Amino acid sequence: MSPARTNEQWLADLSSTGEAREDALAELRRVILEGLPYALSNWLSPGDPAFGPFMEEVAQETLLRVLDRLESFEGRSRFTTWVHKIAVRLALTELRRKRWREVSLDKLVAGAPGEGFAGILASPDVSPDMRSEQADMLDRIERIVEEELTEKQRAALVAARVRGMPIEEVARRMGTNRNALYKLLHDARLRLRQRLASEGLTPEDVLAAFERR
């Protein structure tokens, strides 16, 4: 087996033409395929019939993207690490898309009829004497969420942070991108925290109301 390529050798070969480039692409494909099973061990096992074809698809997409972005590689990590990163992002994006394909945002975000944000979070299994304390706290949270957040922020928060929808999936349904959605959620968090503080409620106070049963 040939010795491992340095970053410079990878870049030189992939930027060239002919055999050097073809050899490098073949080697890089091998590197990607070797790493993906480890990366995706929580999602797919090698025994799954979809495993092989999916890996190939990801490897091909990754090679295209690597070639397209070759100039953006800054050399601050190993080239293969940078490539694995791109492969992981491509693979997980696709796996998440498939898993959540059938899920509608509206249905995910809606609670039971008449149920607000707090209702979505309320726990059924609470003793009667604790119920009113929790109900009060939930009402306060409900009011804070409604007064501080936009409808979009509320929906994004419920979908992403309560229901666990990947933010890319939420973003796509809202006609935006992952980066923008993260900023939207960050703003929401800042507003909620600030408002809690101005009401004299620490996060610990809120948690404490729900810790006891």
Q: Which residues bind another protein (CB under 8 A)?
A: 1, 4, 31, 34-36, 38-42, 76-78, 81-82, 84-85, 88-89, 92, 96, 120-125, 157, 161-162, 164, 166-168, 178-180, 182-183, 186, 189-190, 192-193, 196, 203-204, 206-207, 210
- Smallest gap from Cβ 178 to another protein, in A, equals 5
Q: Are 44 and 51 in contact (CB under 8 A)?
A: yes
- Smallest gap from Cβ 179 to another protein, in A, equals 5
DSSP 6: P
- Smallest gap from Cβ 22 to another protein, in A, equals 19
- Smallest gap from Cβ 207 to another protein, in A, equals 5
CB nearer to another protein: pick between 16 and 123: 123
SS3 (DSSP) at 43: coil
Q: Are 36 and 91 in contact (CB under 8 A)?
A: yes
CB nearer to another protein: pick between 25 and 92: 92
CB nearer to another protein: pick between 20 and 201: 201
Q: What residue has token string 């090679």?
A: 63
User: Rounded distance, CA 36 to CA 43, Å?
Assistant: 11
- Smallest gap from Cβ 17 to another protein, in A, equals 26
Backbone angles phi and psi of 145, in degrees to 5 = -60, -45
User: Rounded distance, CA 44 to CA 46, Å?
Assistant: 7
H or E segment at 129? helix 128-148
CB nearer to another protein: pick between 11 and 121: 121
User: Rounded distance, CA 173 to CA 96, Å?
Assistant: 13
CB nearer to another protein: pick between 16 and 41: 41
